[in-house]
Amino acid sequence: MDAGTAVAGVTLTATVMAAIRQRIATRSLTPGARLPSIRAFAVAMRVSKSTVVEAYERLAAEGAIRARAGSGFYVAAPLAPLSLAEIGPRLDRAVDPLWISRQSLEAGEEVLKPGCGWLPASWMPQAAIRRALRTLSRAGDAALADYGSPLGLAPLRALLARRMSAHGIEVPPAQIMLTESGTQAIDLVCRFLIEPGDAVLVDDPCYFNFHALLRAHRAKVVGVPYTATGPDTALFAQALAEHRPRLYITNAALHNPTGATLSPVTAHRVLKLAEEAGLTIVEDDIFADFEVAPAPRLAAFDGLRRVVHIGSFSKTLSASVRCGFIAARPDWIEGLADLRIATSFGGGRLSAELVLALLQDGSYRKHMEALRQRLARAMAETAARLKPIGILPAIEPSAGIFLWCRLPEGIDAAEIARHALAENIVLAPGNAFSLSQTAKSFLRFNVAQSADPRIYAVLQAALRKADACSTTRR
């Protein structure tokens, strides 16, 4: 071989390597997928087999692909082991969705958390929970020590069926399965219905943990802009045609983070498009009980044919007592129960017994009535205190805990969040919720965590500083 051939050989090898890298980057080859056979790819690329062998071996040495004895080459995980932070576009650290969750979950008592997604423990029905624990201490042996049944505590499922019926969702208890949480419910549905590389639609913006969850499933996440009445239906239709998604994950009433409410017209249109495209919808309704005026439920319109309905008590009762649920088609519930046993065995019976006790004795209903009024007051107060510093609601939510606010022109929410964190305040900057990264001038406020005046002082200082910097840069 003379020098010229050697150079040409190197170039051809690089070309083959680039072709494979591109397929991985564009996800036409997803992690775990087998690479084309050496012979077939040599033909396809019009190079010799030895060139393909060389290219594959170099990619394997780089860790981009992996050889398996006797069965060819496979696309490696983006990192082995799986790192959620590395999958998908790498976001700025301050707006990394997992970072916000972990900051909120790890925060000590000295930290204020207007950016977190749940109520303070003191807003929960403490007296009722304590009473329920004492009642439970006198329950039968099985309640305290046995596994739950595959679908979970039957009387609680019967009660949930009656509650869903009040939202127009007619579902027998046998089509409801209890889970540890709303998140675990969505995760199970994803494991059941999607494969790596499948496209999944989410709202843009949406609850940031949907991004992290879907990355864990190696799904191709596609965002659809969310309006004040639901997803933009024209762009929704376009996304269906372009990406043929398997799932659409959304909130029912009281959208997170915007506080918007799905209108009946949009609900009907979304369902019609879903039917035409064979799309399944996961309707996450964990904020249902905050609602004051009833909004339409996709599951109610659809009769659980292509809609899976999810709920939980983490936001309204206790996040320490883990209890969520799934309502779905009977054949899916059977498969989901098998999958749940395989991946976490029995459900938490003790938690289910506690939730049942609280729902049955009327304390939950009374707690929610008071809580809705308290939240309405907190919502008005938070808006009134944000207004003078130039932070205004983008949508007037009908109820709930979230206020989705726009910052003054030219201000980057991530910068404000970094400033606030240095002052022990966890904020939720808009881009954490936005796949397209088009929410940089938004912040989500949890009105139940926004009472401390220090929050507004720090926000004002951060805004002044950011404004001064942006003026200097001009």
**Interface residues for a copy of itself in 12-41 (CB under 8 A)?**
28-34, 36-37, 39-41
- Which residue stretch of 166-174, 212-220, 396-404, 455-463 sits at the interface with a copy of itself (rule: CB under 8 A)? 212-220
Q: 9, 88, 150, 173: which one contacts a copy of itself (CB under 8 A)?
A: 150
In DSSP notation, 218-255 reads T-EEEEEEEEBTEE-HHHHHHHHHHH--SEEEEESSS-
Pairing of strands 65-68, 307-312: unpaired
Q: Which is nearer to a copy of itself, 416 or 435 (CB)?
A: 435
For 473, residues 6+ apart whose C-beta sits below 8 A from its C-beta are none
User: What is the x/- site pattern for a copy of itself, positions 69-88, by CB under 8 A?
Assistant: x-xx-x--x--xxxxxx---
CB of 288 to a copy of itself, least distance (A): 18
Taking the C-alpha atoms of residue 217 and residue 209, their distance in angstroms, rounded to an integer, is 12
332 is a site residue for a copy of itself (CB under 8 A): yes
Taking the C-alpha atoms of residue 47 and residue 23, their distance in angstroms, rounded to an integer, is 18
Distance of CA 266 to the CA centre of its chain: 21
Taking the C-alpha atoms of residue 56 and residue 97, their distance in angstroms, rounded to an integer, is 35
Q: Which is nearer to a copy of itself, 72 or 390 (CB)?
A: 72
263 is a site residue for a copy of itself (CB under 8 A): no
124 is a site residue for a copy of itself (CB under 8 A): yes
243 is a site residue for a copy of itself (CB under 8 A): yes
Residues in a beta bridge with 419: none
Supply 76's token pair: 């490696």
- Which residue stretch of 1-9, 165-173, 222-230, 332-340 sits at the interface with a copy of itself (rule: CB under 8 A)? 332-340
CB of 417 to a copy of itself, least distance (A): 18
- Which residue stretch of 318-326, 379-387, 395-403, 454-462 sits at the interface with a copy of itself (rule: CB under 8 A)? 318-326
Q: 9, 88, 173, 197: which one contacts a copy of itself (CB under 8 A)?
A: 197
Distance of CA 240 to the CA centre of its chain: 20
Q: 9, 335, 390, 408: which one contacts a copy of itself (CB under 8 A)?
A: 335
Q: 192, 424, 437, 467: which one contacts a copy of itself (CB under 8 A)?
A: 192
Taking the C-alpha atoms of residue 90 and residue 378, their distance in angstroms, rounded to an integer, is 35
Q: Is the peptide bond before 257 cis (omega within 30 degrees of 0)?
A: yes
250 is a site residue for a copy of itself (CB under 8 A): no
Q: 348, 397, 429, 430: which one contacts a copy of itself (CB under 8 A)?
A: 348
- Which residue stretch of 196-204, 251-259, 397-405, 454-462 sits at the interface with a copy of itself (rule: CB under 8 A)? 196-204
367 is a site residue for a copy of itself (CB under 8 A): no
Q: How many residues bind a copy of itself (CB under 8 A)?
A: 102
Q: 314, 434, 441, 449: which one contacts a copy of itself (CB under 8 A)?
A: 314
For 141, residues 6+ apart whose C-beta sits below 8 A from its C-beta are none
Angle at 235 between CA 230 and CA 238, to 5 degrees: 135
Residue with tokens 């309405």: 376
Taking the C-alpha atoms of residue 215 and residue 201, their distance in angstroms, rounded to an integer, is 13
Q: 212, 254, 277, 405: which one contacts a copy of itself (CB under 8 A)?
A: 212
For 88, residues 6+ apart whose C-beta sits below 8 A from its C-beta are 211, 215, 221
